[in-house]
A = this chain, B = another copy of it.
């Protein structure tokens, strides 16, 4: 069985969708429920119709393109999110829904009607770029994990509520529960890698066996503000000295553990932030991830030990809150095996790797079997207009997705 993916069509769809919210030469700025988002979802729906799929818009604005199977039973779904970073590139999210559509369209054209129902989905939101406290708004509606009243209280960066943003484009927040699905068996998501591992390995496509567990610490280290000249080192309680040791310590721990452990100190603010003043306090974040449940907890324990030890030795007050804490999402092992085997049959060389970034799949895992396919990112760049994946690599990824769907829905 050989599936043909048309590279011309792939490029045309990618470029056309990127026109909605185009930002600079190669960027896209398309936040959920914005005018450019509305235009993009309409375009996606139109392409689904053109392919002969049944289109459904659900209560939160997710768009579904359905190719009914002959047999009854739960659906095989693929897709990703249609919103972007501010700005993001052309591929993050968008590629997943186009890949799903093109895979189903290609299967339909080449193999007709499947036994099992296939669906392509464009989730309305995943990036938290308009509403900082949401995440996976689209897939959370599908899994039934949006609480009553949440849309009314959730505030955007521009201070509007999610409910108002929905109403402005004709969606009714009270109807969100209608978006819940209990008839999805499998969710496959194709996404750009957003990292350099495939490029480093010289491969176009990966099968993702887990999405990493993630924890954010928000730490405040408080010392005593003093004069940078008149106060001797031995009498200081310098929170910057403590910060430096903690940051070097936790980063060093992740470096020693090696892949797939990562730890990042991306945000720091100090007060009063003046060259000649020993700071009063330093506030910073630690983003720390591991896809293995046990290794993750061991790494967090090590980080906490480092923080406590440094603070105590330097006479600093340390406080932290855990603002984000996601368990790893383990891909369905049978799906991973099926995708790896299918790739071999199709002559596609893959590696198997965890995802260091979060994805809709981890929300969908609550109601379905999930697995992901990664496509190589140039220089590992992501969340930037410089994000790039080649059409050749993308077609290899879609070919694997389509072949996987064939195994699940036709074979």
Q: Within residues 205 to 259 of chain A, which ones have a CB less than 8 A from any CB in chain B? A: 212, 214, 216, 225-235, 238, 240-241, 243-248, 251, 254-255, 258-259
- Of B229, B233, B255, which contacts A233 at CB under 8 A? B255
Does A358 count as interface, using CB distance less than 8 angstroms? Answer: yes
Report the bound CA distance from A196 to B383 in whole Å: 49
Residues of chain A at interface, number, CB under 8 A: 64
Q: Smallest Cβ distance from A183 to chain B, in angstroms?
A: 31
A279 contacts which chain B residues (CB < 8 A)? 266
A231 touches B276 (CB 8 A): no
* Residue-wise interface mask of A (264-282) relative to B, using a CB-CB cutoff of 8 A (1 in contact, 0 not): 1111111001111111000
- Of B229, B266, B289, which contacts A273 at CB under 8 A? B266
A212 touches B240 (CB 8 A): no
Q: Within residues 46 to 76 of chain A, which ones have a CB less than 8 A from any CB in chain B? A: none
B196 touches A287 (CB 8 A): no
Does A315 count as interface, using CB distance less than 8 angstroms? Answer: no
Does A15 count as interface, using CB distance less than 8 angstroms? Answer: no
The answer to whether residues A260 and B240 also contact, given A227-B195, A266-B279, A276-B266 and a CB cut-off of 8 A, is no
Does A194 count as interface, using CB distance less than 8 angstroms? Answer: yes
A229 touches B289 (CB 8 A): yes
Q: Which of chain B's residues has its CB closest to A288's CB?
A: B228
Does A173 count as interface, using CB distance less than 8 angstroms? Answer: no
Report the bound CA distance from A274 to B355 in whole Å: 20
Does A104 count as interface, using CB distance less than 8 angstroms? Answer: no
Does A397 count as interface, using CB distance less than 8 angstroms? Answer: no
* Residue-wise interface mask of A (20-52) relative to B, using a CB-CB cutoff of 8 A (1 in contact, 0 not): 000000000000000000000000000000000
B234 touches A357 (CB 8 A): no
Does A193 count as interface, using CB distance less than 8 angstroms? Answer: yes
Does A321 count as interface, using CB distance less than 8 angstroms? Answer: no
Q: How many copies does the complex hold?
A: 2
Report the bound CA distance from A245 to B263 in whole Å: 15
Report the bound CA distance from A226 to B258 in whole Å: 17
Does A261 count as interface, using CB distance less than 8 angstroms? Answer: yes
Does A382 count as interface, using CB distance less than 8 angstroms? Answer: yes
Report the bound CA distance from A303 to B127 in whole Å: 42
A229 touches B212 (CB 8 A): yes
A244 touches B265 (CB 8 A): yes
Q: Smallest Cβ distance from A170 to chain B, in angstroms?
A: 33
A260 contacts which chain B residues (CB < 8 A)? 232
The answer to whether residues A228 and B196 also contact, given A267-B274, A268-B268 and a CB cut-off of 8 A, is no
Does A200 count as interface, using CB distance less than 8 angstroms? Answer: yes
Report the bound CA distance from A338 to B212 in whole Å: 71
A238 contacts which chain B residues (CB < 8 A)? 251, 264
A261 contacts which chain B residues (CB < 8 A)? 233
B193 touches A230 (CB 8 A): yes
Report the bound CA distance from A202 to B161 in whole Å: 61
What are 30 A-B pairs with beta-carbon distances under 8 A? A195-B229, A195-B230, A196-B231, A197-B232, A226-B380, A226-B381, A227-B382, A227-B383, A228-B287, A229-B262, A229-B287, A229-B357, A229-B358, A230-B357, A231-B380, A232-B356, A233-B255, A233-B261, A233-B262, A234-B255, A241-B265, A244-B245, A264-B277, A264-B278, A266-B270, A266-B279, A268-B268, A268-B270, A275-B285, A277-B383
Shortest 10 CB-CB distances between A and B: which pairs?
A195-B230, A229-B356, A244-B247, A228-B264, A244-B248, A194-B230, A275-B285, A230-B356, A229-B357, A228-B287
